[in-house]
């Protein structure tokens, strides 16, 4: 069998996978609109894709109830040494994992088409971009990859005869016997789901799930888990971060990269609409930032993706009008409810619940039933280019220069509204100890405190102690060109449980202070935990906030922070001897500052 590709390594790998998985046919994706429309029409004819007449060229899918989210318990980092994977990852020895998965892959694509999906993470030809090739037996995956990455013939041309690529093998794990009818969402039982990463080989194998990041292997698997290991080896950063451009009334541009755990406002910040007169914001990316040091010594970032894979519930014209506008057409919806007039609906969409709908499981639904109409993790896949505030430079090959890093979490108390790190090392410490109180969107009981370093705990492809060390080393390389590091908490509450800060567009007031700090044009007060805005440093023009709220938002409770220290120490102790000494030293310094002049 011959294939339309110059790259011998790729041609050989495709042959090997076809021999192993035994598909009925092999199809090379060209990335064209015709291809997308044809596959979507086939899925619609089969009843898998439901056309949505209220949203042009948009479709609704319903997954199997066992296949609705990332499965972290079935996600593996496979390295020669368990310690190289570290305490935050599930580890299996490479030989053992491959033996298990090869048995599952044998004949797994029988009766199905094997799609070969060449894709670029980042603009094709960008010096920061990387190429991958996903093999999948799911047309749903192909169509989502069309939106989330750059797919097709142009990628093969960029790859050439000798180019390097990351092999990404995926199967839903549901072979079809001759004459066997397919199901609307094929997948394997939970115990047979494997999302496996081999960072020493830059290799991804996924089996048994057709959903989201389990199957769209360019997303978390490549863009973070494998890319983070590549970045450490090659001296760059692959991060779970939004990228935002903020422009002042004077025309000064600032580029911000921000990392937040789930349910902490990351997408809202990526598409923020500033309430400050004259300030403008443009979205460059909402989830993935790849960053390399440029010829001028500064750190330049690209959005490695081409689309948004967002959580639908809670997205509305009030919470995120730009996201709501983005999904009005050309969008794939998964596990939303279907209204009788052919539109999607979810809890928090901003319109009243319909009198009748079909829920995400395909059952009749009406208000008061006691179960949500849309799954809590219902998703939309939409082209980034459709976002009304997408930056004209969002596909700039060389990227944009980062001025500011923001980290944050959801805390009802203790953590102030905004803190600036004393220096790069202290900023790494703030990010390494980032914390959030769990919500319904997180794993674990609601209200528990969870440490999520750099918002990367589920996504770092190697030992996070070494990851902290890599960030410290990048700071040394950047020197005076290193971005400023800040930590925010939009979620402080009063003693009676009311929000102290309104969030959303008003967060631009905090962003303005950060930008002014970069330009040495705003005051800050030194505290034991970092620099906080001075009492009059935040621009509150046209904004009424009770004075007691602002005082509490900018207060450092030394006793509360001293009570926090044991949890920080337990968190860092997990990493044992591999933890950089400078992180332990940061804990000691924090304690010393908190205990001084008590």
What is the per-residue pLDDT across 486-538, written as a single tens digit (0 to 9) for each?
Answer: 999 999 999 999 999 999 999 999 999 999 999 999 999 999 999 999 989 99
Do 296 and 314 have their domain in common? no
Do 356 and 406 have their domain in common? no
DSSP reduced 3-state for 558? helix
- In contact, 132 and 166? CB cutoff 8 Å: yes
Do 471 and 591 have their domain in common? yes
- Average the pLDDT over 230-258 and give the result: 98
Q: Is the per-residue pLDDT at 3 higher than 80?
A: no
Q: Is the per-residue pLDDT at 2 higher than 70?
A: no
**Residue range 413-442, pLDDT digits in tens:** 999 999 999 999 999 999 999 999 975 443
The CATH number for 588's domain is 3.90.228.20
The pLDDT score that the predictor gives to residue 428 is 98
Domain contains 2: no
Please provide the average confidence, as pLDDT, over all residues in the chain. 96
Do 215 and 99 have their domain in common? yes
Domain contains 465: yes
Domain contains 58: no
The CATH number for 115's domain is 3.40.449.10
- In contact, 470 and 232? CB cutoff 8 Å: yes
As given in the structure block, the two tokens for residue 257 are 């990269």
Domain contains 61: no
Dihedral pair phi/psi, residue 168, rounded to 5°: -130, 105
Do 545 and 570 have their domain in common? yes
Give the burial class of 202: count Cβ atoms within 10 A of its Cβ; 0-12 exposed, 13-18 middle, 19 or more buried.
buried
Do 313 and 292 have their domain in common? no
- Average the pLDDT over 120-147 and give the result: 98
Domain contains 56: no
Domain contains 315: yes
DSSP reduced 3-state for 154? helix
**Residue range 48-66, pLDDT digits in tens:** 999 999 999 999 999 999 9
The pLDDT score that the predictor gives to residue 444 is 44
Do 299 and 314 have their domain in common? no
DSSP type of residue 390:
B
pLDDT confidence band for 598 (50 / 70 / 90): low
Share of the chain above pLDDT 90, in %: 95
The pLDDT score that the predictor gives to residue 262 is 82
The pLDDT score that the predictor gives to residue 342 is 97
**Domain carrying residue 365:** 308-386
Helices (H), 393-529: 424-432, 464-478, 508-518
108 is catalytic: no
Boundary (domain end) residue, out of 386, 407, 442:
386
DSSP reduced 3-state for 317? coil
Domain contains 65: no
**Residue range 397-410, pLDDT digits in tens:** 999 999 999 999 99
What sign does the CA torsion over 314, 218, 435, 586 have?
negative
The pLDDT score that the predictor gives to residue 553 is 97
Domain count, the chain: 3
- Average the pLDDT over 231-242 and give the result: 98
Do 278 and 368 have their domain in common? no
Out of 143, 187, 221, 264, the active site residue is: 264
Share of the chain above pLDDT 70, in %: 97
What percent helix, strand, coil does the chain show, rounded to 5?
Answer: 30, 20, 45
As given in the structure block, the two tokens for residue 194 are 């494997």
Do 300 and 312 have their domain in common? no
> Nearest-CA neighbor of 54 among 297, 299, 419, 341?
341
DSSP reduced 3-state for 50? strand
Q: Is the per-residue pLDDT at 597 higher than 70?
A: no
The pLDDT score that the predictor gives to residue 141 is 98
* CB-based burial, 455-492: b 16+ in 10 Å, e otherwise: bbbbbbbbbbbbbbbbbbebbeebeeebbbbbbbbbbb
Do 344 and 227 have their domain in common? no
Q: How far apart are CA 308 and CA 321, in angstroms?
A: 14
The CATH number for 354's domain is 2.170.8.10
As given in the structure block, the two tokens for residue 79 are 């390295």
Domain contains 414: yes
Do 183 and 288 have their domain in common? no
Do 589 and 513 have their domain in common? yes
The pLDDT score that the predictor gives to residue 167 is 98
Boundary (domain end) residue, out of 183, 207, 234:
234
Give the burial class of 427: count Cβ atoms within 10 A of its Cβ; 0-12 exposed, 13-18 middle, 19 or more buried.
buried
The pLDDT score that the predictor gives to residue 442 is 38
DSSP type of residue 192:
G
Q: Is the per-residue pLDDT at 443 higher than 80?
A: no
Q: How far apart are CA 458 and CA 598, in angstroms?
A: 38
Boundary (domain end) residue, out of 200, 234, 268:
234
């Amino acid at each position: 069998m011959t294939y339309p590709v110059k790259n011998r390594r790729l041609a050989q790998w495709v042959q090997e996978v076809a021999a192993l998985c035994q598909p009925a046919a092999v199809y090379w994706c060209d990335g064209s609109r015709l291809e997308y429309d044809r596959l979507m029409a086939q899925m619609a004819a089969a009843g898998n894709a439901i056309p949505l007449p209220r949203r042009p060229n948009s479709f609704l899918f319903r997954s199997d109830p066992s296949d609705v989210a990332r499965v972290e318990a079935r996600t593996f980092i496979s390295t020669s040494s368990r310690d190289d994977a570290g305490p935050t990852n599930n580890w299996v020895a490479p030989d053992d994992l491959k033996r298990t998965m090869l048995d599952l892959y044998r004949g797994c694509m029988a009766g199905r088409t094997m799609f070969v999906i060449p894709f670029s993470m980042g603009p094709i030809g960008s010096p920061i971009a990387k190429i991958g090739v996903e093999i999948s037996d799911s047309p749903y995956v192909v169509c989502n990859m069309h939106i989330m990455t750059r797919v097709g013939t142009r990628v093969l041309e960029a790859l050439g005869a000798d180019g390097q690529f990351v092999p990404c093998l995926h199967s839903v794990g549901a072979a079809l016997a001759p004459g066997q009818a397919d199901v609307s969402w094929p997948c394997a039982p939970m115990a047979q789901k494997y999302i496996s990463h081999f960072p020493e080989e830059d290799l991804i194998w996924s089996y048994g799930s057709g959903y989201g990041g389990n199957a769209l292997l360019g997303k978390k698997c490549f863009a973070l888990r494998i890319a983070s290991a590549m970045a450490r080896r090659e001296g760059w950063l692959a991060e779970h971060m939004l990228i935002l451009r903020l422009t002042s009334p004077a025309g000064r541009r600032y580029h911000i990269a921000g990392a937040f755990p789930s349910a902490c406002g990351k997408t809202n910040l990526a598409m923020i609409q500033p309430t400050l007169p004259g300030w403008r914001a443009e979205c460059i990316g909402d989830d993935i930032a790849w960053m390399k040091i440029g010829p001028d010594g500064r750190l330049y970032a690209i959005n490695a993706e081409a689309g948004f894979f967002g959580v639908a519930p809670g997205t509305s014209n009030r919470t995120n009008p730009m996201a709501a506008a983005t999904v009005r057409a050309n969008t794939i919806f998964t596990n939303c409810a279907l209204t009788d007039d052919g539109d999607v609906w979810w809890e928090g969409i901003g319109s009243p619940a319909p009198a009748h709908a079909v829920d995400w499981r395909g059952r009749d639904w009406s208000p008061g039933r006691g179960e949500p109409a849309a799954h809590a993790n219902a998703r939309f896949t939409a082209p980034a280019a459709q976002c009304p505030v997408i930056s004209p430079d969002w596909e700039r090959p060389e990227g944009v220069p980062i001025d500011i890093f923001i980290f944050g979490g959801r805390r009802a108390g203790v953590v102030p509204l905004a803190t600036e790190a004393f220096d790069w090392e202290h900023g790494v410490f703030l990010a390494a100890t980032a914390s959030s109180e769990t919500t319904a969107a997180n794993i674990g009981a609601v209200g528990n405190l969870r440490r999520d370093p750099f918002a990367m705990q589920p996504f770092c492809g190697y030992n996070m102690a070494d990851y902290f060390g890599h960030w410290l080393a990048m700071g040394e390389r950047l020197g005076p060109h290193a971005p400023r590091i800040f930590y925010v908490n939009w979620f402080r509450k009063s003693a009676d449980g009311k929000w102290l800060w309104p969030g959303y567009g008003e967060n631009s007031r905090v962003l303005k202070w950060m930008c002014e700090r970069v330009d040495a044009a705003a005051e800050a007060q030194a505290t034991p935990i970092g620099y906080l805005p001075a009492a009059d440093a935040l621009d509150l023009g046209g904004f009424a906030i009770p004075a007691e709220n602002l005082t509490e938002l900018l207060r450092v409770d030394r006793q509360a922070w001293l009570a926090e220290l044991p949890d920080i120490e337990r968190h860092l102790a997990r990493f044992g001897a591999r933890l950089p000494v400078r992180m332990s030293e940061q804990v000691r310094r924090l304690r010393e500052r908190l205990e001084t002049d008590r």
